[in-house]
Amino acid sequence: MMNDRDNAAAQFKGVLWLASDSDTMNIHEYQGKALFKAHGVNVLNGVHCTTVDDALNAYDSLQSKVVAVKSQIHAGGRGKGNLYRPNSDELVMEGGVKIAFSREDVKTYAANILGQVLVTKQTGQEGKIVNHLYVESGCDIAHEYYLALLVDREHKSVLIMASTEGGMDIEEVAEETPELLHKVNVDPNVGLMGYQIRDLGLALGLSGASHKSFGKMLRSLYNLFVKEDCAMVEINPLVRTADDDMVALDAKVSFDENAEFRHKNWDDLRDLSEEEDVEIRAKETGLSYVKLDGNIGCLVNGAGLAMATMDVIKLYGGEPANFLDVGGGANEEQVKTAFSIILEDPNVKGILVNIFGGIMRCDIIARGVIAATEALDLDVPLVVRLAGTNVVEGKAILADSTLNIHPADDLAEGAQKIVELIGGGA
Amino acid sequence: MGIWIEENAKVLVQGITGKQGMFHADKMVEYGTNIVGGCTPGKGGQTVDLQGKKFPVWNSMFEAIEATDADATVIYVPPPFAGEAIMEAADAFDQIKGEGVVVCITEGIPTLDMVKAVAFVENRPGVRLIGPNCPGIITPGENGGAKIGIMPGHIHAKGRIGIVSKSGTLTYEAVAQTMSIGEGQSTCVGIGGDPINGTGFIDCLAAFQADSQTEAIVMIGEIGGNAEEEAAAWAKENVTKPIVGFVAGATAPPGKRMGHAGAIISGGKGTAVEKFAAFEAADIACAKDPSEIGAVLLEALKKAGLRNE
């Protein structure tokens, strides 16, 4: 059994990752802060910029001796990240968040950030191009805290986490000093209660004006979280200023994609350059696609079966090139789109189709497969495994075609065949 | 017997006049499910034709349950209204009968709506929520049975194996595997792949353990969360019937959502390796490939002395 401490750390990591997965929509810090401001959460004055001139104008207008020049990408660890010239390993600057003490500093930093690639521990090696900057006033910091709100799947509620150990890697705090991470679960049908806010403030060692300021901020944040259908709001650091005000120095906000229908403004907040082009196109046609590194393309109905198909390919020595779920009621057109998306990946050396027909009929899938392979001039081996509704008709259609389609009766046979046909593992 | 749903259970359909609702209501009637009508606000008093028979539509779940004494309801309402449909059904069952089964098929319900709905249902202990984003529940009978959901009825047969799964088509795969060794099913429950849902693995294991018809259990998990680990630990202490397990997602990369909103490996937590290890530690017989479930199940049945060598 895990002890409480390990358990707390593991749980913390779990929820944090859950909130940053791809069924949520991330927005930039500058957008998050605009949202904060609109909901009455204290932030510093700042300006969103896309050019060096913008940044200089922002500096002039902010009238602050010190400003922060902050790269805007959908990934954490910006401050400790490095900027590289695109398509090279030439280091331009260390640190994606810079403190500027002069107009000249702002110019240098903005020029070193915009258009360059920022690599942080969350972006992967390829990094992300920085197209947006946020130039923000400075403030006198007395202490840095951590505050986050997110959906807790274990307790089926909104979880609030706060810590006195702000400004650092909170996963480390969770692992090494979990007693410094304070948690409150909110009953969704009651809402956040006064005592919960007071207790959390006290746990952070706040009193007087800062305790009051924290209470007002947390209530606003909870209302924002619920009203805006957030998956996560994370502020690291949340700071207490020299005059005992609580101010959000960072803003990491992500929304629950399922709630998009009631938030028409999300379209304006979405930064498509941050999302995988092919995954967006798949989604538009009702397909769920995730690219992987192997060479066997998979086309499956149902998420669980799609994962199992990938697993079995691996079990028989192959490497899956993708996860692709065509959903419960795919038509011929969707099957065709699915094939073309799979074939865009130059690594694909063969395709395994695995369909267990429920609502979806095998004869329709068989026709879709034939139409797609003809239209796309498929030149890699194709193994098709059909089961379930109208399987006899489906198999007959495939057998009657003149195309080179290899049938399989079950998943294991299908996986073995495709691995064999492409000449072994990846 | 079977769990929660008897073969002849009386079933309502919420969203019965919609395209999805009507299509699946028809399939359920065709299978033999005892559909007693449906509910679509604003369309009360109308009827719908299913398999050549007319079925009544009510404006509210209160009216519908009062009129039919239904045991269960199945929800095909679109995501914006599904959370409330769950709560309406739970409230009506609780007030009128003190019990009822609410099966929610709808995919894509906002997470915070589900957080609310699940808390609401949990305050009504006689009401059971299955789903959302699931294939439903089926108790096959001698002739037909109770199919409450979207699963293909014809692949099932009445028998002695209980199946519980997070996935839809993978459940069908498990059903086909039981059939391949000549075994039928007592009840199959799809609990759904969303992070916030109603009935979980442990509820199903407890019910299968208590069900006299069920002799063995097939449990199909997925990466993400720790429901499988908790279920395995619980089973070790509480389940004496043989369990066969499979977990999908061994090859899924961390941090990426694999179709189901709940299927994400979370910072080293929720991996298939961990879940298989938890299964093995609880003496659950694991299939490494869904095509092996039948063979592993037969072996487990023999080992338990339930089938001849």
Query: Number of C-alpha atoms within 13 angstroms, CB side, residue B145?
Result: 28
**Catalytic residue (choose from A109, A146, A222, A289):** A146
Contacts of A233 (CB under 8 A, 6+ apart): A32, A148, A149, A150, A221, A224, A225, A251, A252, A253
Between A276 and B153, the more confident residue is: B153
**pLDDT tens-place string over residues B157-185:** 999 999 999 988 999 999 999 999 999 99
Query: Which is nearest to A63 in space by CA: A146, A156, A138?
Result: A138
Give the pairing of strands A117-119 and A128-129. Answer: antiparallel
- Residue-wise pLDDT tens digits, B259-295: 665 666 655 578 899 999 999 999 999 999 999 999 9
Q: Residue A122's pLDDT is what? A: 81
Residue A38 and residue A256 in contact, taking contact as beta carbons nearer than 8 Å = no
What is the per-residue pLDDT for B268?
59
Q: Out of B24, B154, B156, B260, which one is annotated catalytic?
A: B260
CB contact under 8 A, B248 and A358: no
Confirm if B298 and B218 have CB atoms less than 8 A apart. no
Count each helix (H run) and each strand (E run) in chain A, helices first.
14, 21
Angle at which helix A411-421 crosses helix A303-315, to 10 degrees, equals 50
- Residue B154 annotated as catalytic: no
**Mean pLDDT lowest for which of B44-58, B174-188, B252-266?**
B252-266
What is the torsion angle, in degrees rounded to the nearest 10, for the CA atoms of residue B38, residue B39, residue B44 and residue B49? -30
Q: Which of B151, B250, B259 sits opposite A303 (nearest CB)?
A: B259
The pLDDT tens digits for A361-416 are 899 889 999 999 999 888 899 999 999 888 999 999 999 988 889 999 999 999 99
CB contact under 8 A, A305 and B170: yes
pLDDT in tens, A266-277: 999 998 888 777
- pTM of the predicted model, to two decimals? 0.91
Contact A250, A28 (CB under 8 A): no
Q: Could you say which residues of chain A have pLDDT below 70? A: 1-22, 424-426
Confidence label for B10 from pLDDT (cuts 50, 70 and 90): very high
pLDDT, residue B211, reads 97
Cα(A310)–Cα(B247) distance, rounded to whole angstroms? Answer: 12
pLDDT value of residue A16: 40
Interface mutation vs chain A, best among B28, B109, B133, B169, most A CBs within 10 Å: B169
What single-letter amino acid sits at A320? Answer: P
Q: Residue A160 corresponds to which tokens in the numbers above? A: 């609030």
For B60, the token pair is 């509210």
Interface test with B, best of A356, A392, A413 (most B CBs within 10 A): A356
User: How far, in Å, CA of A130 to CA of A123, rounded?
Assistant: 12
DSSP single-letter state for residue A414: H
Q: What angle do CA A395, A400, A405 make, to 5 degrees?
A: 70
**Chain A residue closest to B134 (CA)?**
A302
Please list every residue in chain A whose beta carbon sits closer than 8 Å to the beta carbon of residue B80. Answer: 261-262
What does the alpha-carbon distance between residue A148 and residue A17 come to, in Å, rounded to a whole number?
13
pLDDT at residue number B168? 87
Distance CA B158, CA B185 (A): 5
Task: Indicate the residue type of B117.
Answer: A
- Beta strand pairing call for B53-58 and B47-50: antiparallel
- pLDDT reported for residue A21: 40
What does the H/E/C string look like for A206-263?
Answer: CCHHHHHHHHHHHHHHHHHHHHCCEEEEEEEEEEEECCCCEEECCCEEEEEHHHHHHC
B chain contacts of residue A229, beta-carbon cutoff 8 Å: 110-112
Which residue matches tokens 């499910």?
A: B33
Q: What is the pLDDT of residue A424?
A: 67
Q: Are the beta carbons of B37 and B64 closer than 8 angstroms?
A: yes
Mean pLDDT of B8-18: 97
Given CA atoms B252, B258, B261, B263 in this order, what sign does their dihedral have?
A: negative
Q: In B, which residues are within 8 Å of A425 by CB distance?
A: none
Give the DSSP H or E segment for A283: helix A277-284
Written in H, E and C, the secondary structure of A143-176 is EEEEEEEEEECCCCEEEEEEECCCCCCHHHHHHH
**To which H or E segment does residue A196 belong?**
helix A194-203
Q: Is the separation of the CB atoms in A377 and A340 below 8 Å? A: no
pLDDT of B113 > 70? The answer is: yes
Two structure tokens written together for B91: 């409230």
Which residue from B169, B133, B153, B131 is spatially nearest to B248, judged by alpha carbons? Answer: B169
DSSP assignment of A98-122 equals EEESSHHHHHHHHHHHTTSEEE-TT
Q: What is the DSSP letter of A308?
A: H
The answer to whether the Cβ–Cβ distance between A304 and B166 falls below 8 Å is yes
pLDDT given at position A9:
41
CA-to-CA separations, B193 to B53, B107, B198, in angstroms, rounded: 34, 9, 11
Q: Which two structure tokens, joined as six digits, stand for A407? A: 């049938």
Which amino acid is it at A28?
H
Residue A301: which of B80, B169, B196 has the nearest Cβ? B169
- Across the interface, do B267 and A171 touch by the CB < 8 Å criterion? yes
Output the 3-class SS for chain B.
Answer: CCCCCCCCCEEEEECCCCHHHHHHHHHHHHHCCEEEEEECCCCCCCEEEECCEEEEEECCHHHHHHHHCCCEEEECCCHHHHHHHHHHHHHHHHHHCCCEEEEECCCCCCHHHHHHHHHHHHCCCCEEEECCCCCEEEEECCCCEEEEECCCHHHCCEEEEEEEECCCHHHHHHHHHHHHCCCCEEEEEECCCCCCCCCCHHHHHHHHHHCCCCCEEEEEEECCCCHHHHHHHHHHHHCCCCEEEEEECCCCCCCCCCCCCCCCCECCECCHHHHHHHHHHCCCEECCCHHHHHHHHHHHHHHCCCCCC
Task: Report which residue type is found at B102.
Answer: V
The CA dihedral of A337, A331, B85, B64, to the nearest 10 degrees, is 180
Q: Which of B20, B87, B107, B115 should we substitute to test contact with A (largest number of A Cβ atoms within 10 Å)?
A: B115
Which residue do the tokens 């079950």 mark? A410
Pairing between β-strand A405-408 and β-strand A382-388 as defined by DSSP bridges: parallel
What is the pLDDT at residue A20?
A: 35
Res B1: pLDDT: 76
**Residues in contact with B155: Cβ distance below 8 Å, sequence separation at least 6, in sequence order:** A388, B172, B175, B176, B179
Alpha-carbon distance values, A25 to A183, A217, A260, B52 (Å): 24, 23, 9, 46
Judging by DSSP bridges, how do beta strands A350-357 and A24-26 pair with one another? unpaired
Known catalytic residue at A59: no
List the 118-177 stretch of B: residues with Cβ below 8 A of A: 118-120, 123, 135, 150-152, 154-155, 165-173, 176
Tokens for A204, please give them: 């952070």
Flag whether the ipTM exceeds 0.90: no
